[in-house]
Amino acid sequence: MSIDPDLERQKKKWDLSEQSFESLLHWLDSDRDRAGKRYEDIRCRLIKIFSSRGCVEPDYLADETINRVARRVEEIAKTYEGDPALYFYGVANKIHLEQLKKQKPLVRLPVVPAANDFEQEYVCLERCIGYLPVDTRDLVLQYYDHEQHAKVVKRQLLAERLGIGLNALRIRAHRARLALRKCIMSCLENKQASEMKYSN
């Protein structure tokens, strides 16, 4: 009888005892809130790394990395010195090698979305941009104006108006864009959930 791979994956994802998880958090930081943030940071970075190595399921591999560390965390914490994130990175490398040995590297055909394939995103963007504070929205609209000639001058003027340097402006604009993207992603997820609900 075949086993549903999704169930197996879910099981693996949550294959952490409460105690292991708590020990893991404590290892990352004695303050629980900071530890939670650190956990999320490490997970996101692992996903980026697996993703950049062309792994098919970067989220799954990041969770597997965390699970492996968590299972041995009490032992590791006693002797390991240095930034815990580097330990995760070492385990991630090991898991990646195992993946490469286990199977032929899966070559996914990259798909660059069509130029007009963003309608759902656009609908969510229209909604989300309305939730941004006026200043933030103006910053996004002006900073990311892509007209080549106007771009440099606009950014310079914008930085002067805000009394910050160009690099600070670049970071500020990016953070605003990130907030917008998070809202769009959440809007898209809600749409999908709603779609599934109504199709059932």
Q: Kindly list the residues in this chain that would bind other proteins in the complex (CB under 8 A).
A: 41-42, 45-49, 51-52, 54, 58, 83, 85-86, 88-89, 108, 110-113, 115-123, 125-127, 129-134, 140-141, 144-146, 148, 167, 170-171, 174, 177-178, 180-181, 184-185, 188, 190-191, 194-195, 197-199
170, HSE (Cβ side, Cα atoms, 13 Å):
5
Tokens at 27, concatenated: 């290892």
Q: How far is the CB of 101 from other proteins (least distance, A)?
A: 17
Q: How far is the CB of 17 from other proteins (least distance, A)?
A: 25
Q: How far is the CB of 1 from other proteins (least distance, A)?
A: 30
Query: Which residue carries 């989220």 as its tokens?
Result: 59
The smaller minimum CB distance to other proteins, of residues 17 and 165, is found at 165
Rounded CA separation 110/113 (Å): 9
Rounded CA separation 74/17 (Å): 13
The smaller minimum CB distance to other proteins, of residues 1 and 107, is found at 107
In this structure, the number of other CB atoms found within 10 A of the CB of residue 35 comes to 17
Q: How far is the CB of 48 from other proteins (least distance, A)?
A: 7
The smaller minimum CB distance to other proteins, of residues 80 and 131, is found at 131
The smaller minimum CB distance to other proteins, of residues 5 and 18, is found at 5
The smaller minimum CB distance to other proteins, of residues 17 and 97, is found at 97
Q: How far is the CB of 135 from other proteins (least distance, A)?
A: 9
Query: Which contacts of 139-144 are long-range, i.e. CB under 8 A and separated by 24 or more positions?
Result: 139/172, 139/173, 139/176, 140/173, 140/176, 140/177, 140/180, 143/169, 143/170, 143/173, 143/176, 144/173, 144/177
Rounded CA separation 196/199 (Å): 5
The smaller minimum CB distance to other proteins, of residues 73 and 180, is found at 180
Q: How far is the CB of 110 from other proteins (least distance, A)?
A: 4
- Helix, strand, coil shares of the chain, percent, nearest 5, are 75, 0, 25
